[in-house]
Amino acid sequence: MSIKSKVFAVAATMTMVGGVSAVGLLPADASTGSCGSACLSVFSQEFGSSFVFDVLRQGEKVGQPIILFRASNSDPAEDFTILDQGTVADYYTAGLVSEALDKNYGGDEGYEVEYSPYGVDSGLCIGVGSTAGDGSPVALEPCGASSKTVWVVDSYDSAGPTYYPWINGSDTNFSNPFVLHYPSNGYPTDVLRPQLNTYSLQEYRNTTPSSVYNNENWDGLAPATPTPPA
């Protein structure tokens, strides 16, 4: 059974016994007309909505890098759809994520983000090719194959009403989880486009409350209710 089938089965059961948590999906800003409202743009707190998720050179293949690129309504490389398949607890019940991830983030939503040029599903999602760590490249990977394409919205470390760190589902570091990260020495218009990666959660010091680095905070998904880690 695929990751989708397993989690949907769990979600269906949860719905019958009381429902699953809701999720906020923010409006699309940079999708083609063919994708329209079905697609969603994702951007960082560092650069704002002028630069959004993009598949480098529109390459529809496993391992194709994910970058940030100037927002456009005519670029199919910026078309992504969101697969909301329940909470981390649902994934754990389906045997798809670790007990430790469930213990720390069980009430938070888990997602896959699928590349959907012109609104057509590619079967490829944003993820990592191996267990997330510092500097793990983020690229297109097969949807539904493992926790490596699952992203957890970290509501506890939110930087405001719409910006959240995204924890990779394969995470093994729960004191400083591995989150979606834009290289600190890069800029979206660099000739060699910086590739997104995962990196341990970083926070500015001497701030109250503490604040996650701008290049690790993302707009595009919002959980219904913040859930502190255990």
Confidence of residue 15 (pLDDT cuts 50, 70, 90): very low
Percent of the chain at pLDDT exceeding 90:
52
Asked if 63 contacts 52 with a C-beta cutoff of 8 angstroms, the reply is no
Percent of the chain at pLDDT exceeding 70:
80
| pLDDT at residue 25 greater than cutoff 90 | no
So where are the chain's domains?
A: 3-222
- Cis peptide upstream of residue 209 (ω within 30 degrees of 0): yes
Q: Which fold has domain 3-222?
A: Trefoil (Acidic Fibroblast Growth Factor, subunit A) (2.80.10)
CB atoms within 10 A of CB 134: 12
pLDDT for position 85: 74
CA distances from 179 to 14, 57, 201 (A): 28, 24, 6
Number of H helices, E strands in the chain: 3, 16
Confidence of residue 109 (pLDDT cuts 50, 70, 90): confident
Residue 205 to residue 139: CA distance in whole angstroms? 31
Query: pLDDT tens digit string along 118-144?
Result: 999 999 999 999 999 999 999 999 998
CB atoms within 10 A of CB 100: 14
Of all helices (H) and strands (E), which one includes residue 109?
A: strand 109-115
pLDDT for position 222: 54
This prediction has a pTM of 0.83
| pLDDT at residue 205 greater than cutoff 80 | no
Residue 17 to residue 120: CA distance in whole angstroms? 34
Confidence of residue 224 (pLDDT cuts 50, 70, 90): very low
Question: What is the average pLDDT value for the chain, to the nearest integer?
Answer: 82
Closest by CA position to 50, among listed 151, 187, 163, 224: 187
pLDDT for position 149: 94
